[in-house]
Structure 1
Amino acid sequence: MTISSTKAYIKPHRPLPSPTSIQLIVSDVDGTLLDSHHTLPPTNPTYQVLSRIRTEFPTLPIIISTGKQHPSTAELRRDLNLESFPSIHLNGNVTYAPNGGGVVRESRLTAATVRGVFKELRKDVTEDKEQEKALFAYDYDVVWQILGTEDDGWARVLRGYGEDVRVLEKEEEREAFVRGVESGERRIFKLAVCEEEAPLAVTRKRLETLFPESFAIVQALTFCIEMIPVGHNKGTALADLLKDYYKGEIKPENVIAFGDGENDVSMFKVAGMSLAMGNAMSRELMEEAVWVSDETNDDGAVGRFLGRVFWGHEKLEN
């Protein structure tokens, strides 16, 4: 694989950074590190370049920041040898210490929020509409489908992203789940609604109108909106890591962030350098980015960018 020139960037706000200016790399996972099949094969430039960085610059932190839960990224972290670094999950609402050190920061949705959204969307789920909309609740490890059925297909879609999805189809199971949140037995960090794109836009506006201060809505996929605690996101998690874990020794201007979705905007606002993927679906993200690539996750855009930065036009091994 030969790394081509900077003509691959359709929004070059400034020249590419020097290798020494990058002191921390933070990246989204789906649509950014992983290809459209939700994998990162060894032939992908992103796999090749990140592996080389880990070998030649072993102390340079590479941190994943994702909407996924920690177990869902175990294989990726292992394959790229990232277990010695912290990782940010559930859109910034759970941060894990390195080397299996456990949770160091978390923020969750209130029980009233979970109950309110469940009650509101339950109105939509009648026998003739059961397959149109699904509601999922995320704890530390499991994604619980609390509206919709196994037959609607949305659970299978999320499983394709590596999620451990369990479907509660009986009304008494769903009600018991929500009561468990209200009692404090369950902690929920994110809610997600899956639906076809056009009706999902209506659902989003409706939820934003009914619950203006209960949560923030972000979107990384055309068929899914995610509700997370207000004031807690990928950006705040990154800022907290720089301040508390790295003790201010790494400045925001020396951080480069990679992403493709609306949920990455807050991270781009913190990082001094940022690249929006060629497959990015968020106009706001592209406007916030320092660079916008015309290469996609399938092209290995993250690896190609970092390859240009660290090794210029040098030919890399396939």
Structure 2
Amino acid sequence: MTDLNPLTLHLAAPRGFCAGVDRAIKIVELALSKWGAPVYVRHEIVHNRYVVDDLRAKGAVFVEELDECPPDRPVVFSAHGVPKAVPAEASRREMIHVDATCPLVTKVHIEAGRHFEEGRQLVMIGHAGHPETLGTMGQLPPGEVLLVETVADVGQLEVRDPDRLAFVTQTTLSVDDTADIVAALQARFPGIEGPHREDICYATTNRQGAVKAMAPDCEALLVVGAPNSSNSKRLVEVAAKAGCAYAQLIQRAADIDWRALGDVRSVGLTAGASAPEVLVEEVVDAFRARFDVTVRLVETAVERVEFKVPRVLREPA
């Protein structure tokens, strides 16, 4: 018998680390193992403070730009991708450099290069200033990639030739939001060419699918993730649109606003693609300390995707 109020905790599956994030973290750990500390990392390897702090404790040094790295130490490029100029400069300086860009982001880079070679100007659907957007736009010369963030932006586009256009998308955007912008692009530029396959990554789609499935049954839904994580913030938006009255982004259990939750009896819990499972377990434990918790797994997809690490890290030192 317990004096705690009952609560059903709807636990999303899939949630947390995707294959690209798992690979990026592994790359830094293998680089440290192969070359020893310090290993430099340009930008946060993934958008999660817990992960970054853990790697920092192991000997990773996080910097904003390449010129902060000494030429005699290895440097890893983050999972979000980098402009072409960055590896080119690392090669010029004869630095050991390892690219941890998610292979699904690399696919977008390859598409961008193909369109450029075939004479098309590119429109990128993404968020200004996001590392992935900067990395993708940096694959082509200035002026060759036009950024749109909203449907309204489509109406303001000034293109070189409306008959020679293509578009790509930031992989972590909301599927629904992207569809609206794509429709606006196709309405204004009927001949615009899209990707052969949807650029929204499988992990983004799957995590949003689980949230959509459980949100109508939840009085509140918490997303474990960083405030600078695009895919985590999209999960909050998806939950709200799917009918959940209270959807919040938290970094850790300490961020939970218990007063706002009040006497809820049904809470959803998920995690963005760069949030480790240990932080989800921390939140579950926090609920168990305050409620008589019944966990209900909401599984909408099973992920078996794995990405290999670069060959240089599979070879002996």
**Structure 2 length as normaliser, TM-score?**
0.30
Higher-Rg structure is 2
